[in-house]
Amino acid sequence: MLSRFMSGSVRNLEREYNCTVRLLDDTEYTCTIQRDAKGQYLFDLICHNLNLLEKDYFGIRYVDPDKQRHWLEFTKSIAKQMKSQPPFTMCLRVKFYPPDPASLKEEITRYLVFLQLKRDLYHGRLLCKTSDAAMLAAYILQAEIGDYDPGKHPEGYSSKFQFFPKHSEKLERRIADIHKTELIGQKPEISERNFLQKAQMLETYGVDPHPCKDVSGNPAFLAFTPFGFVVLQGNKRVHFLKWNEVTKLKFEGKTFHIYANQKEDKKIILTYFAPTPEACKHLWKCGVENQAFYKLEKSSQVRTVSSSNLFFKGSRFRYSGRVAKEVMEQSAKIKREPPEIHSLGPRLLGKALGVLPLYPALTGLQGSDKITPLSGASLPSVQPSNPPVSHGESFIPRSRSQVADTSEGMAVISDEAYSPSDSVLPTPVAEHSMELAVSRQINGAPCSIEEEKESEASTSMHGERGDFGADSRSAQEGAGGDSALSEVEQVNKFVLSVLRLLLVTIGLLFVLLLLLIILTESDLDIAFLTDIRQTPEFEQFHYEYFCPLRRWFACKLRWVGGLLINK
């Protein structure tokens, strides 16, 4: 607590902060921001550097010292949102997945969404059946290395690329077969468009999983997609609610509630439990933003949402930004020529983004001292330079809308259980830890949700977390400190809630008293008011307090009126 207080004091003395934003291709954009700069300023700066116009689908994500993810709010000051010391480190990510990514207006936007989905596939968030997985990987391979060439691509060449958290030799052979026979002649942009069309049809498209537990204590993953709210357990999608069915999202502490109306006025309430109150609040805010973005017709329909039925209790949040329909209408008006972007590799649209080769395989490297990056891989630093579509069913592709009719039943999403944490590799220790971490950064994204959280966290948190090879005793001490801090925060929240309730009660009593005085001093002929007027106490109050106060107000009003007339 003392360190956080001191860090806040240090920040208040600084006028400018250094800020680094990691882009979707793992290059970094570094800039300096003013102390009072808002999130919108930084986001516009990045989009201008990328020459990106269809920017409403993207957002900036950061991780606090407790490793809790957050989306940067564009209407608030950056420095006030960050809980760590500068320099700040954040990531550009897809925040709202396009309902139909292949139909995006500009190729640069499609390419950035392609990079995000490729990252999702690698981390196990975009999970699918084996047949679909082979096709997706083949599209990526075609986009990255072009047509199959026996002279350049020896036997087993597909095994040098890591498309998924884990896969078999049989799947690798299937990927190579598709690449050799079915995709000959496809240009990179065509392969990427085919990849987007294929990925869009998957049940886990657009899923940013929030780990929770159901009322029985079973693990589950909650997510918000362009088509609605989903719950994934095992290898099945156990719940799917369209956005027009979801009526309310609420949370209290660690408990998250989803209210929905389904067919034949069937009302359901789903309840899940997040790991921490902060994680539950983040889940709720993501749900509010996604529902507003995909469900509403106009941004003017956005309203401030409360997490509780009582206005004096809970959190209040309002989505700021355009909704999906407005974004698509605005994109249709783009008339500019495709931006000129310089080639930095085999992908011609790599351009100013510095596209890197695909992630090389990391499996089977436990016995080696380091990972050798692919030839030509580098991590350039990017420096800053100064018809209407209705929502609802029309958002859902034909095959997906057919599945939506059976949304009450379970749908199998994969041949194996959905668990993004399965992509965890052994944590490097001793002298090879930093070397391996750097190699992972060069060759692709981190290998798990937890590692991605660490990579997105501010670099100033490195000293707080310690080295990668910290012993278990320090970890237990850190966990004990976190639990103690969590208890203190819960007590503080309870005290604030009680004080808020007390203030509201006093305010209501004061308002009721004023209303009673006004009614009793009026000429209303009501029995109980007449009885009050005849009491000695009321007559004393009337002559000693009310009448002098009324004369004082009348005098002041005449004085103000005189001043206005003289002017």
- Give alpha helix (H) positions in 522-546: 527-533, 536-541
Give the per-residue pLDDT at 142: 93
Q: Identify the pLDDT of residue 111.
A: 93
Note whether 133 and 171 are within 8 A (CB): yes
Residues of the chain whose pLDDT is less than 50?
1-11, 341-399, 401-408, 422-451, 454-483, 485
What is residue 530's predicted lDDT score, i.e. its pLDDT? 81
Q: Is 497 exposed, middle or buried (0-12, 13-18, 19+ CB in 10 A)?
A: middle
Taking a C-beta distance cutoff of 8 angstroms, is the pair 210, 283 a contact?
yes
Give pLDDT, residue 313: 60
Q: What is the pTM of this model?
A: 0.67
Cα 207–Cα 353–Cα 58 angle in degrees, nearest 5: 35
For residue 296, what pLDDT is reported? 92
Comparing C-alpha atoms, which of 390, 445, 451 is closest to residue 25? 445
User: What is the C-alpha to C-alpha distance for residues 313 and 500, in angstroms, rounded to an integer?
Assistant: 8
Rg, the chain, Cα only: 29
Confidence at residue 309, expressed as pLDDT on a 0 to 100 scale:
61
Instruction: Quote the pLDDT of residue 526.
Output: 83
> How many CB atoms lie under 10 A from the CB of residue 374?
14
Q: How far apart are CA 286 and CA 224, in angstroms?
A: 8
Q: At what angle do helices 188-200 and 107-123 cross, to 10 degrees?
A: 60
